[in-house]
Structure 1
Amino acid sequence: MKLNSRTGMLAIAITFLAFKVNAQTIPKEELIYLTSDWKGERFPDGRPKIPDELLERAKHIGIEEAWTILNNEGYHCQFDGGWKMVHDDVPIVGRALTAAYMPSRPDLEKNIKDRGAKQGRKGNTNAWAIDMLSKGDVYVADGFGKIAEGTLIGDNLGNSIFAKSGNGVIFNASSRDLDGLRAIKGFNAYVRDWDPSYLKDVVLTGLNTPIRIGRAIVMPGDLVLAKSEGVVFIPAHLAEKVILTAEFISLRDTFGIQMLKEGKYSTGEIDNQWTDKIKEDFLKWLDKNPGKIPMSRAKLDDYMKSRTW
């Protein structure tokens, strides 16, 4: 029985490894299938392409609101915290381009690099995802939490990443050259730690595939929202709903705070189910403050029709 059990476990491990190697770049049809709830535009490789307008609006929503909305939708594994950053005050917002790394072994790494060379890929495997980046992308990588000799980038690759994407990185791994990365204006990196070592015994096994980042799952094309609290990965098909709902909550809170400061309503009234009078005053406040509304008024009005307040 022990032999059969061990044989079975070995077979599972070999099957998993074969899948990872074959899934270095996920087939377009598979990616479209896995993200079939997304009905919008896609990149040529099949990755959902969230509109730039939504990316810009997402910069102004909070982690807590996004997490709460996703949690209410049944998405309970989309946040991870415990990061070290280049800058505490530079958020990262964009579309996820994912990569998975594993401990290397000579035969596997040789085969992966040989096939990569035939596909026109150049350099070490940690540079392959960088070559695929476009404006608005966020390089999200699972480096199995490796710190020493797990430094996926330094300042050279950091400059290349920012030049291609105008964005930063999220690594379940480490990075090096912190001072050099700090010098890249607008760039940020969320990593597990900093280390002076060079990358060693690490190989790319998945590119544009579903990956795990701590306690979160990330799909290619997810909306990445990274702020000081941590990182939330918003499924592409829920991006607009999360953003719109978070924007409404922000408007509601801004109005409520103003009413409290003016003494028009009590804390108990604002922090409870709103009366028809408060709702009426809120609508009047919106009319007087169109500049505070981040979405179109038509979208806001349509959203409020289904809102339970």
Structure 2
Amino acid sequence: MNDSANPLTRMADAGETIARLARLDACAVSDALDAMGLPGAALGLTALAAPRRIAGRAVTVDLIDDAPGATHAGRHLGTAAVDASGPGDVIVVAHRGRTHVAGWGGVLSAGAKRNGVEGVVVHGACRDVDEARELDLPLYATRGVPVTARGRVVERAWNVPVDIADVPVYPGDLVIADASGVVFVPAAHADEVLATAEAIAAKERAMVQRVRAGHPMAAVMSTDYETMLDREGAC
């Protein structure tokens, strides 16, 4: 058996990938995706609870309106994803931008915290935000709302491709979120995106060192900065 076929090797590789992602920030990753011509930044989402950086693999949940004839999972939304998730996972809820009803709540937050989930991202509103804060569970969403999902929204499926603020997200894609926003990285491009983001972050650290050393801002942020995302300049 070669190393790539060994489950333990794959787990170690996945852990190192997430560790590399966690050492970056959302801006550097977004810049790397820009340099590669890939979408990634999910606009309009912000930290509502435990506002710290999170990084991990996407475990997706797709929600639809609870309408007559709607095909749905037949269980409360998000429960299967919570039960299947743990450290290294970020639960990503495709609530399709709804802000009049919650797509996530306090009992789900308790389950996610119990299982060691890195955090939760909801494209739309969520509720029981105070409970997520008390649990110290990072929760990124569009806004808080007190209105229950019961009788209004149901889970169509979980661990399926979804759309988050016009960004396609597949199960296992990478997620990073911090005070600047939420960014998704296609798993198929993870190594190249991370390498590009690491190079960008290194260049910016060097620039900050020049600022601290007293160099004029115009010299630090020269033409090189404007072209930093060019394909040849980003790597």
TM-score by length of 2: 0.80
Q: Give, in whole Å, the separation in 2 of the partners of 1:88 and 1:112.
A: 30
The alignment status of 1:238 with 2:175, answered yes or no, reads no
Q: Give, in whole Å, the separation in 2 of the partners of 1:49 and 1:209.
A: 24
Name which one, 1 or 2, has greater alpha-carbon Rg. Answer: 1
Corresponding residue for 2:65?
A: 103
Q: What RMSD over aligned residues (CA atoms) do the two structures have, in Å?
A: 3.1
Corresponding residue for 1:289?
A: none
Q: 1:73 aligns with which of 27, 36, 47?
A: 36
* Alpha-carbon contact 2:24-2:197 (below 8 Å) kept: yes
* Alpha-carbon contact 1:212-1:218 (below 8 Å) kept: yes
Corresponding residue for 1:254?
A: 205
The alignment status of 1:178 with 2:134, answered yes or no, reads no
Residues 137 and 308 of structure 1: CA distance in aligned 2, closer, same or farther (over 3 Å)? closer
Corresponding residue for 1:214?
A: 165
Query: How many Å apart are 1:307 and its aligned residue?
Result: 6.8
Larger relative strand fraction = 2
The alignment status of 1:130 with 2:92, answered yes or no, reads no
Matched position secondary structure for 1:108? coil
For 1:8-53, what per-residue CA distance to the aligned partner results, in whole angstroms no more than 9, with x for missing partners?
A: xxxxxxxxxxxxxxxxxxxxxxxxxxxxxxxx6799xxxx996112
The alignment status of 1:196 with 2:196, answered yes or no, reads no
Structure 2 unaligned residues grouped into runs of 5+ = 226-231
Q: Give, in whole Å, the separation in 2 of the partners of 1:244 and 1:70.
A: 11
Corresponding residue for 1:89?
A: 51
Larger relative helix fraction = 1
Query: How many Å apart are 1:216 and its aligned residue?
Result: 1.1
Residues 227 and 105 of structure 1: CA distance in aligned 2, closer, same or farther (over 3 Å)? same
Q: Give, in whole Å, the separation in 1 of the partners of 2:5 and 2:171.
A: 14
* Alpha-carbon contact 2:105-2:128 (below 8 Å) kept: yes
Q: Give, in whole Å, the separation in 2 of the partners of 1:213 and 1:262.
A: 42
Q: Give, in whole Å, the separation in 2 of the partners of 1:172 and 1:254.
A: 32
TM-score by length of 1: 0.62
Structure 1 unaligned residues grouped into runs of 5+ = 1-39, 114-122, 275-305
Amino acid at match of 1:53: E
For 1:55-108, what per-residue CA distance to the aligned partner results, in whole angstroms no more than 9, with x for missing partners?
A: 122123232321222122221x32112224224731221100111111123443
Matched position secondary structure for 1:217? strand
Equivalenced residues, count: 222
Corresponding residue for 2:95?
A: 143
Q: Give, in whole Å, the separation in 2 of the partners of 1:308 and 1:51.
A: 24
Matched position secondary structure for 2:171? coil
